[in-house]
Amino acid sequence: MADSRPNTGNDNSRDGSTAPPPNPSTPKASSSPQPFSLIQPSELQSKKHKRKVLRAFRSVFRAFPIITPACKFPTSPGLQTDSHISISGIRVTGTLFGYRKGKVSLSIQESPKCLPSLVIEFSLQTNVLQKELSAGMVRIALECEKRCGKEQVKLFDEPLWTMFCNGKKTGHGVKREATAEDLHVMELLKAVSMGAGVLPGNSETEGVDGELAYIRAFFDRVVGSKDCETLYMLSPDGNTGPDLCIFLVRM
């Protein structure tokens, strides 16, 4: 009598046929962050070494008595040097960037190859700042209040600022950590020391036609006191280009 039981999957192995393998799943995009070649500002140990050597020399020379000469050389009033920038100024790299219809941000770096040491997002729109820069002179003042009864932080560590542009109050400036998009912009501009232009933007943020405008230059960072610093933008050709100064004041 023939067996009427249905064939099972194990019977396929008897006649040599095998079940088709499952379709491989589509590989997912890597979720790991994009690597950046920007270095930490703290890795520039040569500056720290020079400061230590300078302090050692100062301590030695302070031990010598001060001798006042009997005669003095006359000085010409026309030969006056501007020590405000050459002595007190520390050259840094500053970048103003943002989408044309979005807010503009300021990034301060020790050099174009370093990670940002300060990022402040302004409430000022990028196209408005571009119009002000086209006029030739821009003065941005960032003011914050002193903390009563609390230990004062460094001026660059203040979280919130009241912003004025050419004497008009334009909202606030907020310090924030550098985002992945900020680092991507700094990475693209790593080879640019001074200049202005546009970069392809993030389509998810500003649409397909969105462009990110930027202006980058060297700034002289002049420290007046622990509550006052100024950033003077240096033009590549001396007197040409926009005149931009950023004042940070704690009142």
pLDDT digits (tens, 9 = 90+) for 17-49: 455 554 444 334 333 445 678 888 854 545 555
Kindly state whether residue 79 falls inside one of the protein's structural domains.
no
What digits encode the pLDDT tens for the residues 118-147?
A: 999 999 999 999 999 988 899 999 999 988
Could you tell me the pTM of the whole model?
0.68
Kindly state whether residue 203 falls inside one of the protein's structural domains.
yes
Checking if the pLDDT of 209 tops 70, the result is no
**Quick one: which of 203, 200, 125, 137 has its CA closest to 170?**
125
Of the listed ranges 99-108, 109-118, 143-152, the least confidently predicted one is 143-152
Kindly state whether residue 185 falls inside one of the protein's structural domains.
yes
Kindly state whether residue 59 falls inside one of the protein's structural domains.
no
Kindly state whether residue 183 falls inside one of the protein's structural domains.
yes
pLDDT value for 229: 96
Of the listed ranges 145-149, 159-163, 204-208, 246-250, the least confidently predicted one is 204-208
Alpha helices in the chain (DSSP H): 45-61, 83-86, 126-134, 180-188, 203-206
Give the per-residue SS3 of 166-200. CCEEEEEEEECCCCHHHHHHHHHCCCCCCEEEEEE
Kindly state whether residue 42 falls inside one of the protein's structural domains.
no
Domain enclosing residue 185, as ranges: 90-250
**Quick one: which of 101, 106, 80 has its CA closest to 245?**
106
Kindly state whether residue 16 falls inside one of the protein's structural domains.
no
Kindly state whether residue 23 falls inside one of the protein's structural domains.
no
The domain tally of the chain equals 1
